[in-house]
Amino acid sequence: MTSVDALSSGPLFGLPLPDLWFALLFFIFGTFLFLDGFDFGVGALFATREDEEIREQFLAAIGPFWDGNEVWLVVFGGVMFAAFPAVYANLFSRHYLLMFAILGGLILRGLAPEMYEQRHDERWQRWWGRSFVAGSVATPFLLGMFTANWLLGATALVTPAGLLAGLTVVALTVVDGVAFLRLKTRGDLRADLRADGHRALVAYLVLVVVTLAALYALAPDLRAAMRSPAVLGLVAATLLLAAGYAVATHRDRYYAAFVAAAGLVFALVAVIAVLLYPSVDPATGLTVEAAIVPTLSLNLMSIGAALLLPLVFAYFAVLYSAFSGPIEAGESY
Amino acid sequence: MVDPVTASRLQFALTTIVHIVFPVVSMGLAPFLVYFTWKDIRTGKPIYEQLRRFWTRIFAVSFVVGTVTGIVLEFEFGTNFAAFATTAGPLFGGPLAVEGMMAFMLEATFLGVFVYGRERVGDALYMVSAVAVGLGTWLSAVWILIANSWMQTPRGFEMVVENGHRVVHLTDPVAAYLNPRFFWMFVHMQNAAVESVALAICGLSAYFVFRHHVWDRPVEHAEFWETTLKIGLVALLITAPLQVIHGDMYARHVYETQPQKFAAMEAVWETDSYVPEYIVAVPTSVENLVDPRAKEIFGIGIPGGASWLASGGNPQATIRGLEEFEGPQPPVAIVFWAFRMMVALGFWFVLLAFWGGYRWYRGELLEDDLLHKALMASAPLGVFAVEVGWIVTEVGRQPWIIQGVMKTSAGVSPGLTGAEATATLVGFAGLYLGLLALYGYVVTRIVRAGPPDGADLRATDRTESSTGATADD
C-alpha cells in the first residue's frame, strides 16, 4: 500500500496538475478542432463542387484520416469526465439538446463518406453527398454554439453569441479544409482551391472580430480578461497567422499554409481557455481547483497520459506519413 | 411524454443494444483479419488476399457504424446520467479516458493504414497495422469492462460528501480496476465476440456451399466459400466449448458477489437450499410476468440444479431469495428468460461445432444439407446471445447503477425534463433502428458482390478507385 499512499499524499513531483489538466483538455479540444476541422471543411467544400471526379478526390483525401481525427473528440469527452467529472456532468446535461444535435451531426458526417462509396448510382450519391455536407457544416456550427454557451455560462439553447461563434467555427474549418486539400490535390483543382482559401480566411477574420466584439458587449464579466495581455497577444497572433496563411497560400507553400491553419485553430481555442480560467464552468462557478478529481485519481491519470500521449502522436506520425502527399490511384481495400 | 428517468434508461438501453453489435463484429473479426493478412503476406496466395479484402470491407463498415453509435454512449453519461457521472467520475472516468487514448486511438489510426494502405506501406508495417487494429479493439473491451465490472462489483473506494454531493473517492486502484469480475467479463465477452463472428462466417459460407453442392446452382468463388466455412468452423470448435466452461464459472462468481442478480437469473423468491434449475418456468398469470414479487411458477426443473451450479457441485447449497432484498427488484421475467436463452444458445453452438467437426472429419462437410441449414439459421444467433447476455448483466443489476451503492433512478441528470428526454429518445430510437437497417443493407450488398476476383485483384486497385471505393457497381 505504500505506493498508493505516496500517490495519494500529493501531486506528482509537486506539479500544478489541475492547471496542467485544464491546459491538456483544451489542447485536446484544439487538436480535435484542427484535425477533424479539416474533415468538416472538406465536407463544406464538397457542396461547392459538382464534378464527380473532384468529389471522389475530396472523399479520398480524408478517407484514411477522419476516423483517427474524430477520436480526439472521444478523448476530449473522456478526459473531461476523468479530470473534471462535475463539469462534464453539468455542462453536458445543461446543453442536453445541443449535445444530441452535435452527435446527430457527427453521425451524418461519419456515415456519409463510407455510404457514398457503397453504391455508384446518382440518387444514392446525391443523398449521401448532401448528408456529408449537412453533417460537416452543422457539427462545427453547433460546436461553436456549445463553446460560446459554455464560456458565457448560458443556459439557453440559442444565444446571439452562440450563433456568431458557430459561424466563426464553420469559417475556420473551411480555412483548415482548404489548407488540407491543397496538400492532397494537384493541378487545376489545387489552383482553384486558392480562391476558396482566401475567401474563407476573410470570412473567418470578419467573424472572429465580430464575435469577440459581441462578447465584449454582452459579457461585462469578460471585459477585463479580454483586455489582458494573453488575449491581446492571441488576437495579434491570429492576425499574423492569417497573414502567414494568405501569403503561403498565394505562394503555393502548402505545408506552411497548413501549419498556419493549425495555428489559427489553436489560437482561437487558447482564447477560450484563457477567458474561462480559473473557472472551468462559469454557469456553476466551478473552478479548476474545485472541479479537479482527488489526488490519487489525478496522479494515476497523469502517469497514464504521460505514457500514452507520446504513443498516440507516434500513431498519427505513422498514419500521416504513410499517406503524405497528393492522392494517388490504388488506395482501396 | 415519458418521465426523464424512464426515458433515459430506455435510451441508454436502446443505444447500447444497437451499438454492441458493431464492437462484437470488430473484436470478433480482428483475429481473422490478422490471420488472413499474415497468410496473404507469407504465402501470396490469392485466396488469402480475397479473404482479407472481403472481410476488411465488412470490418470497415462495422467500424464506422460502431464509431458513430459509440460516441453517443460516452456522451450519454454526461447528458442523461449526470448525477452518476458526478458521483462516480473520479473513479469511473479514468478508464474511459484511457480507453480513448490507449485503445480507440490505436484502432482508428491504424485502421486508416490497414484499409487504405496496402499499396502505400511495406509488408511489415502492413502486418503491424493489422495487429494494431486487432489489439485496439481488444484493449477497448478491456477498459470498457474495467469500468463496467466496477459498477457490478464496486470496491477500492470510499464515499465522501463534496460540494453537497456524494462522490466516490478512489482509495485502492488495484482493487477497483482489477476487481475479480473484470476477468470473467472480459474472457466471456471476448470469446463471445469471436464465437459470434465464427457463427456468422459459418452461416454465410454455408449458404454458398449449400447452393453449390446441394442445389447444384452456379456459385462464383465456390472454393473461397468452402475455405471460409472451414476457417469459421475451426474458430467455432475452439470458442464454443470455452464459452460454456467460463460461462459456468462466471455464473458462480455472480452467485458469490451479486446474490440479488443471481436470484433474478434463477427466479428464486424465497431463500432455499436444494433449488431446482428450471429449464422452463411459466408464471401462473400474466400479471406475474411483470410482478417481481410473484411466486407462483409452473416449471420443469432439475432438482438441486441451480444450487449445484451456484456452488460448483453442491446440490444442497443455499440460494438467497429475492424477498431478502429490500426495495425494488430487477424485472425478474426479463432476466430469467434472457439467461435461459443465452445458456440454451451456448449449448446449441457447442452441438453445432461438434456436428460440423464430425462431418468434416468424415469428409461430408460439403454435402450435409441439414448442417448447412442449421449453420445458416444460426448465423445471427451469436450476436443475439451476446445481446441477451448483456441484458442479464445490466438488467439483472437493477435497481442499482452501482451495485449496492447508487440507485439508477438517483443517477439521472437532475435538470433533465421529460420533454427533452422524450425528444431524444424518439429521435435516437428512429435513427438507431435506421442505422441497423442501413448496416444490414450495406453488408448484404458487400456479400452479394462477393470477394474480388483473382483477375481484378490487382486491376481494380489501379484503375477503379483512387477513392477507397468498394467498387461493386
Give which of B110, B467, B472, B473 to mutate to test A binding, by max A Cβ within 10 Å: B467
Cβ neighbours of A22 (radius 10 Å):
24
pTM, two decimals, is: 0.90
pLDDT of residue B306: 86
**Does the CB of A107 have a partner CB in chain B at under 8 Å?**
yes
Residues of B in contact with A117 (CB under 8 A): 467-470
Residues of A in contact with B29 (CB under 8 A): none
CB contact under 8 A, A97 and B94: no
Give which of A17, A297, A307 to mutate to test B binding, by max B Cβ within 10 Å: A297
CB contact under 8 A, A100 and B64: no
pLDDT of residue B31: 96
Give which of B101, B161, B470 to mutate to test A binding, by max A Cβ within 10 Å: B101
The distance from CA B324 to its chain's CA centroid, rounded to whole angstroms, is: 32
B331 or B20, higher pLDDT: B20
User: Chain A: nearest CA to B105, how far in angstroms?
Assistant: 6
**Does the CB of A326 have a partner CB in chain B at under 8 Å?**
no
Residues of A in contact with B83 (CB under 8 A): 89
Give pLDDT tens digits for A180-222: 999 998 888 888 899 999 999 999 999 999 999 999 998 888 8
pLDDT of residue B308: 85
Mean pLDDT estimate for chain A: 90
Give which of A58, A74, A316 to mutate to test B binding, by max B Cβ within 10 Å: A74
Residues of B in contact with A319 (CB under 8 A): 109-110, 112-113
CB contact under 8 A, A89 and B461: no
CB contact under 8 A, B96 and A82: yes
Give pLDDT tens digits for A135-168: 999 999 999 999 999 999 888 888 889 999 999 9
Cell triple for A92:
453536458
Which distant-in-sequence residues (6+ apart) come within 8 Å of B368 by Cβ? B359
pLDDT of residue A53: 85
pLDDT of residue B473: 35
B56: closest chain A residue by CA: A333
Whether the bond into B399 is cis, omega within 30 of 0: yes
Of B88, B120, B165, the CB nearest to A323: B120
CB contact under 8 A, B91 and A110: no
CA distance linking residue A79 with residue A94, whole number of Å: 19
Of A1, A110, A296, the CB nearest to B170: A296
Give pLDDT tens digits for B382-400: 999 999 999 999 999 988 9
Give the residue among B354, B373, B380 at the shortest CA–CA distance from B236: B354
Give the residue among A213, A64, A5, A210 at the shortest CA–CA distance from B171: A5
Above 50 in pLDDT, residue B464? no
Cell triple for A266:
489553436
Which distant-in-sequence residues (6+ apart) come within 8 Å of B123 by Cβ? B41
B462: closest chain A residue by CA: A330
Average pLDDT over residues B148-177: 90
Of B92, B114, B473, the CB nearest to A119: B473
pLDDT of residue B283: 64
pLDDT of residue B28: 96
**Does the CB of A134 have a partner CB in chain B at under 8 Å?**
no
Of B79, B420, B467, the CB nearest to A60: B467
Given a contact cutoff of 8 angstroms between Cβ atoms, the answer to whether B190 and B27 are in contact is: yes
Of A65, A93, A114, the CB nearest to B82: A93
pLDDT of residue A329: 55
Q: What percent of chain B stands above pLDDT 70? A: 92
Given a contact cutoff of 8 angstroms between Cβ atoms, the answer to whether B242 and B191 are in contact is: yes
**Does the CB of A90 have a partner CB in chain B at under 8 Å?**
yes
Residues of A in contact with B67 (CB under 8 A): 67, 70, 110
Average pLDDT over residues A78-88: 94
User: Chain A: nearest CA to B324, how far in angstroms?
Assistant: 34
**Does the CB of A101 have a partner CB in chain B at under 8 Å?**
no
Above 70 in pLDDT, residue A51? yes
Give which of B98, B169, B174, B463 to mutate to test A binding, by max A Cβ within 10 Å: B98
Give pLDDT tens digits for A265-302: 999 999 999 999 899 999 888 999 888 999 899 999 99
Range name among A238-252, B183-197, B212-226, B410-424 with the lowest pLDDT average: B212-226
**Does the CB of A89 have a partner CB in chain B at under 8 Å?**
yes
CB contact under 8 A, A86 and B163: yes
Give pLDDT tens digits for A127-144: 999 999 999 999 999 999
**Does the CB of A287 have a partner CB in chain B at under 8 Å?**
no
Residues of A in contact with B467 (CB under 8 A): 56-57, 59-60, 63, 117, 331-332
CB contact under 8 A, B93 and A78: yes
CB contact under 8 A, A316 and B438: no
- Whole-angstrom CA distances from B229 to A126, B204, B206 are 38, 8, 6
**Does the CB of A28 have a partner CB in chain B at under 8 Å?**
no
Residue owning grid cell 417481481? B292
Which distant-in-sequence residues (6+ apart) come within 8 Å of A296 by Cβ? A4, A7, A8, B169, B170, B171, B173
Average pLDDT over residues B397-408: 89
**Does the CB of A36 have a partner CB in chain B at under 8 Å?**
no
Nearest-10 crossing angle of helices A122-152, A187-218: 30
The per-residue b/e assignment along A86-107, b for 16 or more CB within 10 angstroms, e otherwise, is: bbbbbbbbbbbebbbbbbbbbb
Of A67, A82, A328, the CB nearest to B93: A82
Of B101, B416, B464, the CB nearest to A96: B416
Residues of B in contact with A73 (CB under 8 A): 71
Of A64, A92, A119, the CB nearest to B79: A92
Whether the bond into A278 is cis, omega within 30 of 0: yes
- The count of CB pairs under 8 A between chains A and B is 285
**Does the CB of A54 have a partner CB in chain B at under 8 Å?**
no
pLDDT of residue A274: 94
Of A111, A304, A316, the CB nearest to B98: A304
Of B75, B82, B462, the CB nearest to A103: B75
Element (H, E) at A17: helix A17-46
Residues of A in contact with B418 (CB under 8 A): none
Beta-carbon-side half-sphere exposure of residue B21 (alpha carbons within 13 Å): 23
pLDDT of residue B468: 41
B303 pLDDT band (50/70/90 cuts)? Answer: confident
Which distant-in-sequence residues (6+ apart) come within 8 Å of B262 by Cβ? B251, B254, B255, B310, B319
Range 181-210 of A in CB contact (< 8 A) with B? none
User: Chain A: nearest CA to B152, how far in angstroms?
Assistant: 19
Report long-range pairs for A313-316 (Cβ below 8 Å, ≥24 apart).
A315/A68, A315/B105, A315/B106, A315/B109, A315/B110, A315/B132, A316/A68, A316/B109
